[in-house]
Chain A
């Protein structure tokens, strides 16, 4: 048993964490992030309450930010699920960014190659193309980790940078270059995605995948094996689970989901329908790292990722208001996201320990 120097407070180690406690911890960590950020706003001379009100009223206003919020939320949901599956097997999938770029390439390749197909055929083909490209990219990491025991974090990061330059090669002055400088040419008309109830149809795809993953991880033999492998490699080896194929499989599934994010981001929104400038798609690529934070907050459970990513995406969308409408300095929205991630990292402590005040 551990005890701090101060005699009255005692640390108790928690072995299994309940869902209720996890929810409480994430609420506390978000609350303290808001508190810290209010101090920054105060320092900048803005009224924090007014700022937060502005943020959320923009993010959830159907005329202004709501469609953007939902669009980003779907994107983050895909990234979170792409992170969850490999970590259930014990692999840190930091490569959502690269898999997302490759998914973009796969989807756009299909659309540019078969522009005359019917939308009913072309759009599913694009999604499949995106997920195959993402899956192949994820599989590289998984196979290297399973077969040669190469550190998956480093490989994934390197692949992210490579994928960034591949997109750059195709778009900036490459075969896909459009009329506008350094963005790709627009998608053919037949690839324009439909809206269902005024939201992108990928929303329902993402929810369906979340539900499927939930049952896959909980009910199937493969899901069980993945969870065993994630808990202990030794147990997995002794009980005859093939690590190599399972690592490769988990990363492939993760990559396939991140690849769909590539389709969703640029092709399912009528605002884009093309790949934008390198700094714009890099900025979206940086958003994939939210998958890590949300995945951990949700304790690697796919279902709660739906509200969590909606919330984070409302902050991402809403905080742009601070700069644009309230004329606060540039980068304040990035700072808010940074504060949320670091308070979350600090609050991880409460997943392992409980503070208890002792009576004398």
Chain B
């Protein structure tokens, strides 16, 4: 039993890393969406985080890499909030703009340094420290959203900004804070992806993980607890798709079929949770004002 466990441990650490990446990005998006702003540029933010952390880690050390990735994520979160909160640009257009810009900029900036990472990341029993950081952030996120004054204000802004404004909440400030912090988490998730999971830069390394995290937020019914379960499940499926042989030697399906699994799973799960009966049974916490710019009359 213990031997079987030991042989599975490398696989387990890998899939926990994918789960951490998904969890971090999805937590960022959850916070953003709870304040009523939708950010479809997660994939782009993760690319920025990954590229910045990669290049910083090459020159300085791993810690500086994580820090730089997070900061760059926050900068682009601030950009998105300027566009979508202050300038009231369509939030999907703004997020798409960030994503497409990230694809171009990162290709130009980091592709010429394509190659493995020169620094090593400290690991705890084979696990990246980011796993524990993510769990701490998860608890903090739950606590802030459900038990603090700030969380109450955030939820109010996401549900009905006009009513929140009347009761004395600064809608614009709350949305700015949530979008920027959320984007910083996405940037951090990108740096975890590159520094501890991949360990090398290649052309556009995210490969749809950011969009998976975006789907995961809807899957979670906008609750941090379900988000953890969802990211564990999706991380497992993602890693299983890449190396099924570590668990099932002689797994029949070819690689492309495996790689479809996480995406197929998202569609099925989303369809189930979007049905009328499911929504009534498990009160869906979708923010009422999601994606609508707040226009003060």
Q: Which of A's residues lie within 8 Å of B, judged by CB?
A: 2, 13, 92, 144, 148-151, 153-155, 157-159, 161-162, 165-166, 168-169, 172, 279, 286, 289, 292-293, 296, 329-332, 334-339, 341-342, 344-346, 348-349, 352-353
B101 with A286: CB separation less than 8 A: no
If A154-B270, A157-B214 touch, whether A330 touches B97 (CB-CB below 8 Å) is no
B266 with A158: CB separation less than 8 A: yes
The reply to whether the CB of B200 lies closer than 8 angstroms to some CB of chain A is no
List of A residues within 8 angstroms of B218 by Cβ: 151, 154
A158 with B267: CB separation less than 8 A: yes
List of B residues within 8 angstroms of A151 by Cβ: 218, 270, 274
In the complex, how many residues of chain B place their beta carbon closer than 8 angstroms to a beta carbon of chain A? 45
- Main secondary structure on chain A at its contact with chain B? helix
A344's nearest neighbour on chain B, judged by CB, is: B97
A338 with B104: CB separation less than 8 A: yes
B88's nearest neighbour on chain A, judged by CB, is: A352
B83 with A346: CB separation less than 8 A: yes
Q: In whole angstroms, what is the CA distance A336 to B83 when docked?
A: 20
B192-217 interface code vs A (CB 8 A; 1 in, 0 out): 00000000000100001001101100
B107 with A144: CB separation less than 8 A: no
B215 with A345: CB separation less than 8 A: no
- Main secondary structure on chain B at its contact with chain A? helix
A161 with B267: CB separation less than 8 A: no
Q: In whole angstroms, what is the CA distance A84 to B209 when docked?
A: 27
Q: In whole angstroms, what is the CA distance A353 to B87 when docked?
A: 9
A289's nearest neighbour on chain B, judged by CB, is: B100
The 8 Å CB contact of B103, one of A13, A155, A168, A338, is A338
A150 with B103: CB separation less than 8 A: no
Q: In whole angstroms, what is the CA distance A330 to B254 when docked?
A: 34
Q: What are 9 A-B residue pairs whose CB atoms fall within 8 Å in the complex?
A: A2-B296, A153-B40, A158-B212, A165-B257, A338-B101, A348-B83, A348-B90, A348-B94, A349-B89
B256 with A334: CB separation less than 8 A: no
Q: In whole angstroms, what is the CA distance A121 to B256 when docked?
A: 33
B104 with A162: CB separation less than 8 A: no
The reply to whether the CB of B57 lies closer than 8 angstroms to some CB of chain A is no
A329 with B100: CB separation less than 8 A: no
Q: In whole angstroms, what is the CA distance A301 to B203 when docked?
A: 35
Q: Nearest-CB distance from A174 to chain B (Å)?
A: 8
Interface centre among B100, B203, B257, B267, by most chain A C-beta atoms within 10 angstroms, is: B100
Q: In whole angstroms, what is the CA distance A345 to B275 when docked?
A: 33
